Amino acid sequence: MELRRLGSSPVQVTTLAFGGAVIGGLYDPVSDADAAAAVRRALDRGIRYFDTAPHYGAGRGERRLGTALTADCVVSTKVGRLLVPLQPGEPPEPEGFADPPPYRRAWDWTAEGILRSLSESLERLGTDRVDIVYLHDPDDHEAEVYESAYPALSALRDEGVVGAIGAGMNQTAMLTRFVERLDLDVVLCAGRYTLLDRSALDDLLPASARRGTSVVVGGVYNSGLLAGGTTYNYEPAPPELRTRVARLEEVCARHGVPLRAAALRFPLRHPAVASVLAGCRTPAEVDDNADLLELDIPEALWEEL
């Protein structure tokens, strides 16, 4: 599988990455066995970039990934949320994850919080190092990123503790400001550079290309609508978007290409994009995404799309 370098860092990632939210139980429960089998199958298919976060199943995603990884590969995790044990009688916080462990999430963007978050992630992953660390969803904490969180990550990179640093969000405006004002190797942007939403072309992708910052794209199916589902950005898709998807399917069908394959490959056509994330909860889903990425897609299809 093709490798692409993240900015000017030494870190190289495969163009298809394993998104670790679903093995943390995103929306539906996943067994330990299925999670491990999915990770092993991803390794078999040549995937060498695995992304996770403390938020994913309140640590469950990291633990499962660390247990299942058996080969040398690139791992990214995230900081900004600490996991705090629940007090007796305190209800769990699912936040979209099934059967959550007994922890609540607490925002902490101090230097001490960043270091603690990474240390606890390393323990859950069962390793002494990760290659990439992202600031995770700092939408309401921009000032704290500049004041404490980014300097802490930058110091970790300078010390060689991590190979690359960045930020991961579902919006482009703040990510663009980070790219322009900070020395980031990579940003992870979910859902804003897809066949249905190309808003990252307005700000983030041009800024990243100018600065030499790589982009990892998640949410290529916009939470399901581009993969045969009915949700768009985690809500029921409006009729006008379903009509657009039907038109996209017609175009793809004329060229003998599944819409899902075009949706998965589309972001990689931009020179700033290094990898696309796809969440997989079973070996079959891993094979499906890997097969889609390997399909030959004629240039005429892109022109018509």
Helix H or strand E encompassing 17:
strand 16-19
Q: Which residues pair with 169 in a beta bridge?
A: 189
- Measured from the Cβ of residue 128, the count of other Cβ atoms closer than 10 Å reads 8
Determine the Cα–Cα distance for residues 273 and 94; give it in Å rounded to an integer.
Answer: 32
Phi, psi values for residue 85, rounded to 5°: -55, 140
Helix H or strand E encompassing 132:
strand 132-136
Contact 211, 243 (CB under 8 A): no
- Pick from 140, 139, 138: which is nearest to 149 by CA? 138
Return the active site residues.
Answer: 56
Phi, psi values for residue 293, rounded to 5°: -70, -25
Coil, strand or helix at 215: strand
Burial of 244: CB neighbours in 10 Å, binned 0-12, 13-18, 19+: middle
**Angle between helix 60-68 and helix 32-44 axes, rounded to 10 deg:** 50
Determine the Cα–Cα distance for residues 289 and 18; give it in Å rounded to an integer.
Answer: 10
DSSP assignment of 46-57, as one string? T--EEE--TTTT
Contact 162, 79 (CB under 8 A): no
- Pick from 41, 46, 47, 49: which is nearest to 5 by CA? 49
Ramachandran class of 95: left when φ > 0, alpha when ψ lies in -120 to 50, beta otherwise: left
